[in-house]
Homo-oligomer: A and B are copies of this chain.
């Protein structure tokens, strides 16, 4: 079987993709891939996703320069979730200028933004409009 056929795509032809820093183990973000995005991720050895909101391929870092270099690709036991171990160039995955998108921690019934903003999003993206918001 071709390795792409081991993936259980959902009804929209997508699979969950989780990006994790290959050295620190920090979970950076979660997005989605279609067959083309996954194929290109492996071919180009970088994180390439399917943006649901924009309805097109999203080469992570195409505007920000914050490319995710692929170190390892993993598939879960039932084939519907993919884990990318990556080197996150620029040290930030989130469009808010933080290292990780998971910066809201539940504390006493409220979400508290915990991680520092490393760079002003306006400085990251200029007027390009690329964000992590799918």
Binding site for B on A (CB under 8 A): 3, 6, 16, 18, 20, 24-27, 29-30, 42, 72-78, 81, 83, 94-96, 98, 101-106, 109-111, 132-134
Contact = CB atoms under 8 A, between A and B. Distances in A.
Given A74-B103, A96-B77, A20 B27 contact: yes
A30 B16 contact: yes
- What is the interface of chain A mostly: helix, strand, loop, or mixed? mixed
A30 B20 CA distance: 13
B110 A3 contact: yes
Contacts of A134: 78
A19 to B, nearest CB: 10
Nearest to A78: B133
Given A18-B18, A83-B27, A132-B78, A73 B106 contact: yes
Nearest to A6: B111
Contacts of A133: 77-78
Contact of A111 (B3, B25, B96, B98): B3
